[in-house]
Amino acid sequence: MVRKIAILTSGGDAPGMNAAVRVCIRAGLYYGKEMFVVYDGYKGLVDGDIHQVTKDFTADIINRGGTIIRSARLPEFSEEEVQKKALQQLHDYEIDCLIGIGGDGTYKGLRALSRLGFRCIGIPGTIDNDVASSEYTIGFMTALNTICECIDKIKDTSSSHQRCSVIEVMGRHCGDLAIFSGIAEAAEITISYDHQVEEEVLFRKLRRLKTMKKNHAIVIVSENLLDVNELAKRIEKETGFETKAEVLGRLQRGGSPCAFDRILASRLGSRAIELCLEETPETTGRVCGMHNGKVVDYAIEEALEMERDPHKELVGLIDLLQ
């Protein structure tokens, strides 16, 4: 029988992780389980930084950004020797089930532990929205709202000076933050993994806007695709639009989670606890997510093989509206 459950957050932090930690602890306690948190993700697991918590731990955290149990990246966790150290810590603390909140990297760590026979459950938490087994990840909507707030502000100054702004948004190798913000901000051009734009097409469009005396132009670009400073220089040279590059950076990861993320975290966190408690063998290594607005779960092995939704309809909308 599962008696003790531990929770960790891993990879890049995301708004709403605390809300997920909160509901896991509260739901676990509700079912009479002993709840533990692991500080600093897999690093803390290997080091045994594991602490029992009570309901008090969850007070006033639903609205807090970041992750109060902190996060870390531990590439060495791909080594079996390191995984076995973590496993030993879990056995030493008599933990029966581990919940990991994070993205694909976190899921791979959970898969490794579940292959070693340990019961693990994953919850998708990352601003990138790049976890194929969930249509939304915890943190994505908040980051999107933050990006929109920032671009609204950039537009004010950009219009006052009749400038073009090239804005880099995060997403690692996933273009969702760019595609969604491109639509929400009515960007003149959106360049992302699922929507590439040839430079000549970009220049032609901006030259036309310049001739039409448009006050500003917004170009949104997914990170890791191109150098936005260099692109800004080329735009200025080719179109005559005074152009500034802005890298929004890690401010996209901060801030209080929006209501959508708090609710998503609560729904997924409570499902994660149910999965911990279902003691059939196939629940060794599962992840939860959202599909068509419903909470779903998959075997972790299957989840990591899934193809991400390329959001064809939204990409089509970008083409229609640009």
Catalytic residues: 128
- Closest approach, Cβ 172 to ligand F6P, in A, equals 4
Contacts of residues 298-307 at CB distance under 8 Å and 24 or more positions apart, as own/partner, are 298/133, 300/107, 300/110, 300/111, 300/114, 300/120, 300/122, 301/111, 302/133, 303/107, 303/122, 303/131, 303/132, 303/133, 304/104, 304/107, 304/108, 304/111, 306/132, 306/133, 307/132
Q: Centre a 10 Å sphere on the Cβ of residue 292 and count the other Cβ atoms it contains.
A: 6
Per rule CB under 6 A, is residue 122 in the interface with ligand F6P? no
Neighbours of 132 (CB within 10 A): 18
Q: Is 182 in the site for ligand F6P (CB under 6 A)?
A: no
Q: Contact with ligand F6P (CB under 6 A): which of 170, 264, 290, 318?
A: 170
Cα gap 147→160, rounded to integer Å: 20
Q: How far is the CB of 173 from ligand F6P (least distance, A)?
A: 8
Least separation in angstroms between CB 59 and ligand F6P? 27
User: For ligand F6P, which stretch binds (CB under 6 A), given 61-69, 111-119, 122-130, 290-298?
Assistant: 122-130
- Helix or strand (DSSP H, E) at 44: helix 41-47
Which single residue brings its beta carbon nearest to ligand F6P?
A: 12
Is 171 near ligand F6P (CB under 6 A)? Answer: yes
The strand pairing partners of 299, in sequence order, are 286
Nearer to ligand F6P, 27 or 174 (CB): 174
Q: At closest approach, how far in Å is the CB of 200 from ligand F6P?
A: 28
- Kindly indicate which of the ranges 32-40, 120-128, 144-152, 261-269 contains the residues binding ligand F6P, using the contact rule CB under 6 A: 120-128
Interface with ligand F6P by CB under 6 A: which residues?
11-12, 103, 126-128, 170-172, 223, 250, 253
